[in-house]
Amino acid sequence: MSADNLGFLLIGVIAVMAGATIVLMLVRSELAQASGVSPTRGGGRLFLAAALGMGIVAFTVKLTTFTLMATLPQQVINPLMVERHFTEIVPADWTKMPGPPQKDAIYQWQALPQAAPAPADNPTTIEKVELGKRLFFDPNLSLTRDVSCASCHDVVGGTGVDGRRTSKGIRGQMGGRNAPTVWNAAFQAVLFWDGRAASLEDQAMGPPLNPIEMGMPSGEAVAQRVRENAGYREPFDLAFGKGTPITFERIAQAIAAYERTLITPDAPYDRFVRGDRSALTPAQLRGMALFQSTGCIACHSGANFSGASFVDLTAGDPPSGVANDNGRFRMFPGNDTPYVQRYKLTADKGAAGAGSDRGIWRIPSLRNVALTGPWLHNGSVDKLEEVVRIMAASQLGASINGEPHLGRAVFWSPDERSVSRVDRPVLSEADVQDLVAFLKALSSARLAQKLAAQ
């Protein structure tokens, strides 16, 4: 209990004692004699004191209630928290707990900007982008000279992924995770499923050195492959300056510059937010409302629909490049559901520490999500409707189409010393279809048209 609460409690106790003393003195000296109660019969005096002191009794009850409320959260609520795993694995930070948005908060829907932010030490130029595109498609950057960045991130076909459950590397080896789309990766503040890369430049240096993916023994070996090709000398001079050495770091910078051009600000959702009220269908509008009211925006927020994004449009356009402060990682799955075993969701723990029974993952973007199946970190789900059910149940505790309700969640904020009890969502199958319709509205019109023509 805080010092302020203790002070209030002490004053209350003193007031009760003083009031009770005054009442007893009045009863003994005045009222008992006037009502004919014998001085030797304490029961009568006590009855009169209780009758006269009902106000003091009521105040005492209120004081007791206050004492219980002041101590109850630490003694009772914490051990019974529904989100017990969050306090065990993730630091006790209110902003990292997923849940429905605050009712008093106004959520601002944002369109994707027309350009991606670039770091000061790697400004985007036409020459650098052209070089990066060539490197992105070059299989010679792999040990067996048959795997390129584009092998797992198909930007020609439109999806930015390879369509496999897990990606295929050199010598037919299969990786352990589903390939994230490269589209709009430029807006992510951390890369890879476990968020281990802090920039596109860092991410670009990962796959060439991964023994399963591209298998090169070192960054110097990658640079030597590029140096062997005389056709790269002039593009490097144009991109970085004449005579600049070809290094692994500059190779990564060029690839990152190209990837910053792979953005899709042309989804129906973007047209709607920019003013075209006919851009969304009635089902998509219903899904958009559900996306907010159900609590999906607690994780998938902002213009890139990811709390792990750089974009902050409140500072104006073009984007400021300030990292989103909603929290970049979430525990998944957050609740025990039948989906956990069905899709082996906890076999890989991501960024979680040793001994964890759940995974910790970077919040992925939902941009173009309808085009990038199969879904989830292990590529185990083939239907977008099923992904919606999984996320609603696992992360929001929702019941769907008559499934048993997971009840209410109790959130305790140690910093604000406040408790919120949240009713978990109840979704019908029609709601699921509306949410899927809205997710499809996040697909680039250009990419969707390209895929439809294939």
Same domain, 16 and 41: yes
- What is the rounded average pLDDT of the residues 339-344? 97
pLDDT in the model for residue 43: 52
Q: In DSSP terms, which residues pair with 431 in a beta bridge?
A: none
- What is the rounded average pLDDT of the residues 32-57? 55
Neighbours of 93 (CB within 10 A): 13
Domain boundary among 216, 242, 259: 259
Same domain, 40 and 170: no
Please give the structure tokens belonging to residue 121: 């030490």
Domain hosting residue 161, numbered range: 126-259
> How far apart, in whole angstroms, are the C-alpha atoms of residue 351 and residue 335?
18
Domain boundary among 210, 230, 259: 259
Same domain, 47 and 152: no
Same domain, 66 and 184: no
> How far apart, in whole angstroms, are the C-alpha atoms of residue 344 and residue 352?
16
Place 448 in a pLDDT band, splitting at 50, 70 and 90.
very high
86 lies in some domain: no
87 lies in some domain: no
pLDDT in the model for residue 15: 67
pLDDT in the model for residue 416: 77
CA atoms within 13 A on the CB side of 214: 27
- What is the rounded average pLDDT of the residues 24-30? 59
pLDDT in the model for residue 315: 46
Computed over its alpha carbons, how large is the radius of gyration of the chain? 31
324 pLDDT above the threshold of 60? no
Same domain, 318 and 431: yes
181 pLDDT above the threshold of 80? yes
CB 61 within 8 A of CB 67: no
Is 213 annotated in the active site? yes
Each residue's pLDDT tens digit, 379-390: 999 999 999 999
Output DSSP code: residue 30: I
- What is the rounded average pLDDT of the residues 29-40? 54
Same domain, 208 and 291: no
70 lies in some domain: yes
Output DSSP code: residue 29: I
pLDDT: which is higher, 244 or 408: 244
**Average predicted confidence (pLDDT) for the chain:** 83
Same domain, 252 and 276: no
Stretch among 11-15, 84-88, 130-134, 296-300 having the lowest mean pLDDT: 84-88
318 pLDDT above the threshold of 70? no
- For β-strands 426-427 and 399-400, DSSP reports them as parallel
Count how many domains the chain has.
3
The catalytic position among 213, 228, 259, 429 is 213
161 lies in some domain: yes
CATH classification of the domain holding 411: 1.10.760.10
155 pLDDT above the threshold of 80? yes
Same domain, 76 and 102: no
Each residue's pLDDT tens digit, 63-94: 666 665 555 544 443 333 333 333 222 333 33
pLDDT: which is higher, 195 or 74: 195
Contacts of 6 (CB under 8 A, 6+ apart): none
Is-above-0.85 flag for pTM? Answer: no
Same domain, 240 and 293: no
47 lies in some domain: yes
Place 275 in a pLDDT band, splitting at 50, 70 and 90.
very high
- For β-strands 359-362 and 418-423, DSSP reports them as unpaired
pLDDT in the model for residue 149: 98
256 pLDDT above the threshold of 50? yes
